[in-house]
Structure 1
């Protein structure tokens, strides 16, 4: 997304009730793309690349597709263009469990079905056009006067200036430095022009500008010195195919790129070919898997968000200029490691063939570990290099408060949990990584048995958090239970015991919950002094349930702690429950007093992560209590049903696309990163755990509001 596009969006949405101006949203439409490149297909047919963090290549920034009938093939492209964004979209779905996007629309000249599939570093858009004719005889002839028109704005190396174009017959090459992007057509080009994007006077004007412009000013710099291409492609037998290919000149020479483009435009030329290609890339989900539709969607989303390294972006980056957030197109080790653990656990139970994902994730964490055993704030997933961030305190001189200790805790839990699946060199490397990672955990564990003051999971405050303590408890317990030498496991067990005991310091008797945090310094806004407990309910503190279940493998969860956990999970879910009257949405807010991205709503927004976390915590409590023969387990089994139903397909927090957005407004409008990987992994893990516990989910209407 270029600044021009952000300013254009700002003009269109300034003052909107639920849209933040200057963002590029993915709350509508579907994504295609495995192996790195990630292309968004809007219901209006337009395309946009979101895969820069996954590949290091930027690709398409703006796009508009249409159909021209009555074109003059002499080179003068006469005839009106019927842009798809002005037509009615009938439906947009995936082909079965694949990442092939199928969009059907009615245009003034007939029905058009658009097929979109990202194949490695290429994206294929194919249309089948059923063009209406005035007589039966005319309907049987070749569509020799119809053209598929594509306006494609490419931004190689994320630049929109100092760009050049090269013409190679039926291909266009758009380049800046090392990124060279290609545009090709299965039926060639009947007309091809360049076009500069919005000019200074247009940027300064109060009105947004519609592109492409209908008439070129015939300037040499417009045709050859821009990334915007307007291509007209003949429709033959009702079909036309557009291909874009993103390359790195250092890795893919021009001749090789043109050869690949030629291969794509000659083989991916009909819907059947695209279906076969899509099915070959799809992870098989057993038909008898519980909630197989949700499982297939979760696996597809996590695959979409993954780079070839195995590292994932948190979600499609809707705010690359940090206008209203700190960006989402990076790998955070907290949610990435939890996703990896959830995938590994669910894969084994559900019969998914995802062992390669687990190994790839483990290797990625090994290469990104810092010398002190910890992991940094966030990295670029395409190569694991340090990404921009604000929580790299252990890489800077200072007291280290701007460090998110829970991220290291989450990676340690994953590596320790999958150690038994590793062999050979990988096992040796994981053992070595865990050894130094324990030093990193020990160094950030205070003398009182709780993690030092640091940043929280939500990245909006400092302190000593219940959630951070939960990740340390789980990490130490996982190491204690792993197949490691006796000295290492004994040390990890002793540290887990210390954290277990120290959690009592965070208990709020009056509310029956574990506090959000102990304040390291005064918080005037909350009226808290240094050393005070912030007694607000926090959905991140629901992590204590799974952490204690892991601890129970190596230690004793006594009756008093079990009582507190029961009270904590029940009370946090109840206190964060929100059921607005404006719509059908309902679920858990992030934490009490969360004011982020309210856009004038005046109330905390519902988060899918928090709701899915509540479901997973309830299922974890069910398992923990059943292991103790405690009848209270069945209350949490019902609570699992209540909360998981909200994020399953047909639930009010799950979109028609199957995606889980990060947040929703009270009126039901989705907001922020969509789809977000973390809730999809939580849903996947909870579906598997609920089925393992024989919890029937979706059999009744969620009844939390009636409790």
Structure 2
């Protein structure tokens, strides 16, 4: 099924300068989700993206419209406007058809997704084409009909489709044929009625349904279930309950308001930005508490290595950002922190490290290319920064106080094993071993990896654990070793040491991680004046070196690193990244805090730079889409690209807003003061 979609997109996107053929993009539209299910809503088209979060595939294709007297008006052929209802997860889409306006409401409640339609068009019906792929299959799929509910199943996954007003008619259809696939033209869905084969209506996950309107409204319901966990009778009961409860807009808005990511009345700085960040991070989180990096837009890995996995670097940094933000903004996210901690305890390997990436719905090992510590030999394809990032979060979470004594014990045990792993990968000169970098595209002894070690040891040293003294000693070793990476003529820290001890002189935004690491070290040691000078130079010089302000568009920001050739398309040079821009804002804010804590007047300039970069990624900023989402990358033309929304920059934005508000530098840089 996904191959058919990829081939169809290839036909539509070939020849475009800013599109990579074969992908399923989420650059426009909005997501509805929660508790594992993730549904993309765009111009009346729905698609499930939640397989990494739930292990269930659900809808792979859909199309909706309104029909009067047999004439169909598909919503994706008409103009539409879309928004979130009052900052909640309810997506409201208004379709302007030639025969009148139709409002579409989309809300996800656990494993169920509800799509409501409202219109004043007389004598109308809603037509819905939905393609379900239980267990990711398009063949060996069957149907069971339960009055007004259709069950589509393969083996483990059983998907249910129903309506609050029933169906006035429905039919099944086989997927696109081989002739369709090899045709030069894209396939039009839904396809015509079957060709006479008696099995088509029953042995297919593709359904065309007609929904009658009662008082101008109806609600389509899809429910995804795991056959090992949900009885058929329970699923049918849930379908009946949802059908009876969600019959009008009031029911949708009430349910959405109850699940708002942030209290709409809370006194929170930049409320729209904070609410959007919490919503996005919630959308990307599975029941385990683990997050996928972003919606998987490239299912055949044609142009990427996949995004629907949990990387412990990204996830733990997000977890730490959320923890610190919650402590200041009072976001009521204690359950998030506990789930993250449990997930890290459960996924730790016997040697104290964490693997390259796992499936967020169950923590099982996922496909990857940096699992040297699971293989025989002493390979360098290991990302040591991931273990450092998890330690920094767990140590900070422990220091904040854990009410659950059993969880606290697990965290302590996990940290003790993790320190052994970190020690094992720290060489005699005080820097980490040769390994893979944060961007996963090269090998060396990286400054960013060194920064994660410094932050991990410093966070541990700030606790009352028995290993704190050892961690303090190790933190000091790493702090001293950072000097080896300094490039005095450029005024920055090198990207890495490579080869026979030579330094890679390129500017790399990941090295901005040094600032947060030193802010953590400053709590257990002394950041001397020479180091403050170098950190100040590093931040400002790095931002200048990576700054991109294309002439032919309104966007501006930081690119990832000098010489970055990934997903350039026809552009021919580095692209702007929201991660790097957000990292620049966060590092500048951290630098301002570090300077203020050391009574250094340069805090004012750093805060001003942080505010300038933050504005680029805030809602209304040039790198933030109207959806409130931060795509991973931008072309110079202003076209977004890659995973959208990406969790990492949203967490960076949240943490930067929180830190700048806490330190009094969010609105006026001259207000920066030391934290007494």
TM range (shorter): over 0.9
Among 119, 122, 137, the residue aligned to 2:112: 122
- Tell me how far apart the structure 1 counterparts of residues 155 and 45 of structure 2 sit (CA, whole Å): 26
> Could you list the per-position Cα deviations for residues 392-442 of structure 1 after superposition, in whole angstroms to 9, with x for gaps in the alignment?
111011223100000000000000001032141111111111100000000
Q: What is the CA distance between 1:282 and its match in structure 2?
A: 1.8
Partner of 1:20: 20
Secondary structure of the 1:223 match is: coil
Tell me if the contact between 2:553 and 2:638 (Cα under 8 Å) persists in the aligned partners: yes
Among 163, 171, 176, the residue aligned to 1:193: 171
Partner of 1:422: 402
Q: What is the CA distance between 1:288 and its match in structure 2?
A: 2.3
Q: What is the CA distance between 1:604 and its match in structure 2?
A: 0.5
Q: What is the CA distance between 1:51 and its match in structure 2?
A: 0.2
Q: Does 2:82 align with 1:92?
A: yes
Q: What is the CA distance between 1:364 and its match in structure 2?
A: 0.6
**Mapping of 1:378-527 within 5 angstroms?**
378-420=357-399, 421-423=401-403, 424-485=405-466, 488-519=467-498, 521=499
Tell me if the contact between 2:163 and 2:220 (Cα under 8 Å) persists in the aligned partners: yes
Partner of 1:135: none
Partner of 1:573: 543
- Tell me how far apart the structure 2 counterparts of residues 261 and 399 of structure 1 sit (CA, whole Å): 53
Among 122, 131, 144, the residue aligned to 1:166: 144
TM-score using structure 1 length: 0.93
Q: What is the CA distance between 1:202 and its match in structure 2?
A: 0.8
Unaligned runs of 5+ residues in structure 1 are 71-78, 132-142, 522-529, 701-707
Among 351, 359, 364, the residue aligned to 2:343: 364
- Tell me how far apart the structure 1 counterparts of residues 231 and 546 of structure 2 sit (CA, whole Å): 55
Q: Does 2:236 align with 1:266?
A: no
- Tell me how far apart the structure 1 counterparts of residues 666 and 270 of structure 2 sit (CA, whole Å): 11
Partner of 2:73: 82
> Could you list the per-position Cα deviations for residues 333-384 of structure 1 after superposition, in whole angstroms to 9, with x for gaps in the alignment?
0010011111111112112101111111100100000011100000001010
- Tell me how far apart the structure 1 counterparts of residues 334 and 322 of structure 2 sit (CA, whole Å): 9
Q: What is the CA distance between 1:698 and its match in structure 2?
A: 8.8
Partner of 1:563: 533
Q: Does 2:91 align with 1:113?
A: no
Partner of 1:229: 207
Partner of 1:373: 352
TM-score using structure 2 length: 0.97
Secondary structure of the 1:569 match is: helix
Secondary structure of the 1:222 match is: coil
Tell me if the contact between 1:2 and 1:159 (Cα under 8 Å) persists in the aligned partners: no
Unaligned runs of 5+ residues in structure 2 are 671-676
- Tell me how far apart the structure 1 counterparts of residues 67 and 276 of structure 2 sit (CA, whole Å): 36
- Tell me how far apart the structure 2 counterparts of residues 65 and 218 of structure 1 sit (CA, whole Å): 25
**Mapping of 1:620-639 within 5 angstroms?**
620-639=590-609
Partner of 1:134: none
Q: What is the CA distance between 1:268 and its match in structure 2?
A: 1.0
> Could you list the per-position Cα deviations for residues 68-120 of structure 1 after superposition, in whole angstroms to 9, with x for gaps in the alignment?
112xxxxxxxx11111011111x200001210000011112100000000111
Tell me if the contact between 1:419 and 1:483 (Cα under 8 Å) persists in the aligned partners: no
Partner of 1:75: none
Tell me if the contact between 1:283 and 1:353 (Cα under 8 Å) persists in the aligned partners: no
Among 576, 597, 601, the residue aligned to 1:606: 576
Secondary structure of the 1:458 match is: coil
Q: What is the CA distance between 1:697 and its match in structure 2?
A: 3.9
> Could you list the per-position Cα deviations for residues 34-75 of structure 1 after superposition, in whole angstroms to 9, with x for gaps in the alignment?
111000001x110000000000000000000011112xxxxx
Partner of 2:53: 54
Partner of 1:220: 198
**How many residue pairs align between the two structures?**
667
